[in-house]
Amino acid sequence: MKLLHFSDTHLGFSEYTKIDPASGLNQREKDFYDAWDQVVESILQTRPDIVVHAGDLFHTPRPSNRAIRVALESIQKISDAGIPFVIISGNHETPRIRATGSIFESIALFENVYAAYSSKYERFRIKGIDFHCLPHCSLTEEMEAALHAIKIDPAAEKNVLMTHGAWSGKTFYGMGEFNEQRLPDIEGVLGTTFDYIALGHYHRRVDIKDHVCYSGSTERTSFNEYNSQCGFLTIDLQNMHKQYHEIETRPMIKLPPLDCQNLTAVQIYDKLNQLADAGTENAIVQLSLTDINEHTFIKLDSRAVDDIFAKTFHLEKQFYRAEQSAATDTKSSRIESLPVEFERYMATVTDKDLDQKRLAKLGMDYLSQFE
Ligand SMILES: [Mn+2]
C-alpha cells in the first residue's frame, strides 16, 4: 500500500515583478504551478494507491481564478485516474470568517476526493485504511475538540493521521505565522500510535519520528527556506519504506556575507563578479556586503552591482557601513507568532505574588479570542 504525501503547495503565491512572457503570469506564481505540476505528473505516472495533501494547497483563502483552475484541472486528472486524494485545509487557506465559505467545498465535489476543511475532525476509510483528518482550526478550543474526537476503529487495517501545524516537542517546528496552530505530541496526548502521521505547515522536510513526517513544501516562500529541498514523500505502509523525491525548483541562494573592510569599490566589484559567476543564473539571490568603509560606501554604485548580477532572477541587496555592521553583530532576535512571544515573556516573569499558571492561561485565551 503506497502513499504519496505532499504539502504546502501554496498555489497562487506570487512575488517580485518578473512576468513569464509566454503566459503573461507573474513568474514566481508560475514557478509554484510548475512545482505542483511536477508532483501531479509523478502521481499520474507512478500511480500510488492513495495521495495525501497536508494543507496549504492555496496561498490564500480566496485564491485567484488561475490558481483555482490549476488545482481543479490536476485534481480532476487524479480523480479520473481513480487515485483517492485526501486533503486537509491549512492555515493559509482557512477563512477567518466562516461565512466566506471554503474553496474546498468545490474540490470535495470530485469523485475520489476526500476533503476535511471545517475546523473539525473527520475520518475517511479508503481501501481499508482510516484517514484521521485534523484540518487547521481557527480556534484553539476547536483544535482541542477535534483532537479528542479522534476515534480508532479496530476494523481499520491501518491508521493514518493528517494534520497541519507547528509540532511542538523539544524543537518547535513553526513558521512564525500569527495564526499557526501548535500541535502537541498527539500520540502522547491520546495514548494511541498511528501507522503514519502526515504533517503539513513546516516547509522543510523533517522526520519528527520515523513515522511522523513533514514532507516540506514544493516551492520556497521566503529566504528562511533558502537551503531547503522541495519535493514529496512516498511511504510503503507495509514495510514503512520511505523515499523522498526532490523536484526541480528555482534556486534560492543566500551568499555568504562579503566582508568589505579595506576593500575599494573596484575590488568589491571584482569579488562580486566571481560570486555572480558561480551559479547564480536564474536564481533568487540574497547578497550582503558588510563593514564597508565610509569612503567606499559613497563610491559604491547600486546599479553597477545590479549589472554584475544581471543574469539572476532577483537580487536582494543589503549594504552595511562599518559602524552598522558592528551594530548588527549584537544578538539578533526574531519575532515569532504572538503565542510564542507571550510564552517567552511569561518565562521571564518571576513575580512571586502572581498566579503564573492562571496568568498564562488567561493570556493565551485572550490571544486565541483575538485571533
Ligand atoms: Mn505553508
Are both 57 and 182 inside the same structural domain? yes
Are both 222 and 350 inside the same structural domain? no
> Is 212 a domain residue?
yes
**What pLDDT does residue 335 have?**
59
> Is 155 a domain residue?
yes
Using only C-alpha atoms, the chain has a radius of gyration, in whole angstroms, of 23
298 Cα to the center of ligand 1, angstroms: 41
Are both 223 and 203 inside the same structural domain? yes
Are both 158 and 213 inside the same structural domain? yes
- 273-310 burial, b at 16+ Cβ within 10 Å, e below that, comes to eebbeeebeebbbbbbbbbbeeebbeebeeeebeebbe
Are both 19 and 150 inside the same structural domain? yes
**What pLDDT does residue 250 have?**
97
CATH assignment of the domain containing 203: 3.60.21.10
328 Cα to the center of ligand 1, angstroms: 29
The C-alpha atoms of residue 306 and residue 315 are separated, in whole angstroms, by: 7
46 Cα to the center of ligand 1, angstroms: 25
Neighbours of ion ligand 1 (CB under 5 A): 8, 56
Are both 54 and 20 inside the same structural domain? yes
Per the structure, the complete domain to which residue 302 belongs is given by 252-328
Task: Give the sign of the dihedral formed by CA 104, CA 91, CA 233, CA 227.
Answer: positive
Are both 139 and 171 inside the same structural domain? yes
234 Cα to the center of ligand 1, angstroms: 19
State pTM to two decimals: 0.85
Are both 97 and 129 inside the same structural domain? yes
Q: Which three cell numbers stand for residue 247?
A: 523536484
Q: How far is CA 364 from the centre of its chain?
A: 24
220 Cα to the center of ligand 1, angstroms: 10
**What pLDDT does residue 331 have?**
42
Are both 292 and 234 inside the same structural domain? no
Residue closest to 166 by CA, chosen among 143, 146, 150 = 143
360 Cα to the center of ligand 1, angstroms: 28
End position of a domain, from candidates 228, 246, 264: 246
> Is 223 a domain residue?
yes
158 Cα to the center of ligand 1, angstroms: 27
**What pLDDT does residue 127 have?**
98
198 Cα to the center of ligand 1, angstroms: 14
Residue closest to 306 by CA, chosen among 336, 276, 330 = 276
**What pLDDT does residue 129 have?**
98
Residue type present at position 262: N
307 Cα to the center of ligand 1, angstroms: 34
**What pLDDT does residue 330 have?**
40
202 Cα to the center of ligand 1, angstroms: 6
Among all chains, which residue has been given the C-alpha cell 513575580? 351
> Is 333 a domain residue?
no
365 Cα to the center of ligand 1, angstroms: 24
Query: Could you give the residue ranges of the DSSP H alpha helices within 164-293?
Result: 186-190, 265-277
Are both 217 and 161 inside the same structural domain? yes
Count how many domains the chain has. 3
**What pLDDT does residue 324 have?**
60
**What pLDDT does residue 358 have?**
80
95 Cα to the center of ligand 1, angstroms: 15
Q: Which three cell numbers stand for residue 274?
A: 566571481
Are both 348 and 291 inside the same structural domain? no
55 Cα to the center of ligand 1, angstroms: 7
91 Cα to the center of ligand 1, angstroms: 7
Per-run averaged pLDDT (10 residues), the chain, 371 residues: 98 96 96 98 98 98 96 98 98 84 94 96 98 94 95 97 94 88 94 97 96 98 94 97 98 95 94 93 96 91 95 95 60 59 74 75 77 61
**What pLDDT does residue 234 have?**
98
